[in-house]
């Protein structure tokens, strides 16, 4: 059995997207990371372009995900779409009901992950 066999197809797609995004970037210390960039443990406020609603979430590692607490894994479709993006950018991500588009309205960073 291969390591990738432990993941569902959608998770494998997200992992591939995340791997590509990471391969295009470079390492920056937390102190030098611009405050308007989404990272793990960022609290993100989004505006849903389809429904005209504002909602928030916190981007976390998979083991910390909690849908009731709006803690979303970086391996989800929205998680991979958000990581490394900036305030004002529009992201697209897949849902069971189709493609969703949201604009990043605000980003804040937790001092305690």
Is the pTM higher than 0.85? The answer reads: no
Model confidence pLDDT, tens digit, residues 26-75: 777 778 888 899 999 999 999 999 999 999 999 999 999 997 879 999 98
Q: Domain total for the chain?
A: 1
pLDDT in tens, 79-94: 999 999 999 999 999 8
pLDDT in tens, 95-108: 889 999 999 999 99
In a domain, 1, yes or no: no
Q: What does the H/E/C string look like for the chain?
A: CCHHHHCCHHHHHHHHHHHHHHHCCCCCCHHHCCCCECCCCEEEEEEECCCCEEEEEEEECHHHCEHHHCEEECCCHHHHHHCCCECCCEEEEEECCEEEEEEEEEEEECCCC
Residue 30 lies in a domain: yes
Residue 67 lies inside a defined structural domain of this protein: yes
Task: Confirm whether 3 is domain-assigned.
Answer: no
Q: Which domain holds residue 86?
A: 8-109
Instruction: Flag whether pLDDT at 10 surpasses 80.
Output: no
């Amino acid at each position: 059995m291969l390591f990738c066999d432990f993941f569902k197809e959608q998770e494998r797609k997200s992992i591939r997207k995340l791997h590509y995004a990471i391969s295009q970037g470079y390492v920056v210390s937390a102190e030098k990371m611009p405050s308007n960039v989404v990272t793990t443990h960022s609290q993100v406020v989004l505006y849903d372009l389809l429904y005209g609603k504002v909602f928030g979430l916190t981007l976390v590692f998979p083991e910390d995900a909690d849908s009731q607490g709006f803690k979303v894994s970086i391996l989800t479709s929205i998680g991979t779409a958000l990581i490394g993006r900036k305030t004002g950018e529009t992201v697209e991500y897949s849902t069971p009901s189709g493609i969703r588009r949201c604009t990043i309205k605000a980003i804040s960073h937790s001092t305690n992950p």
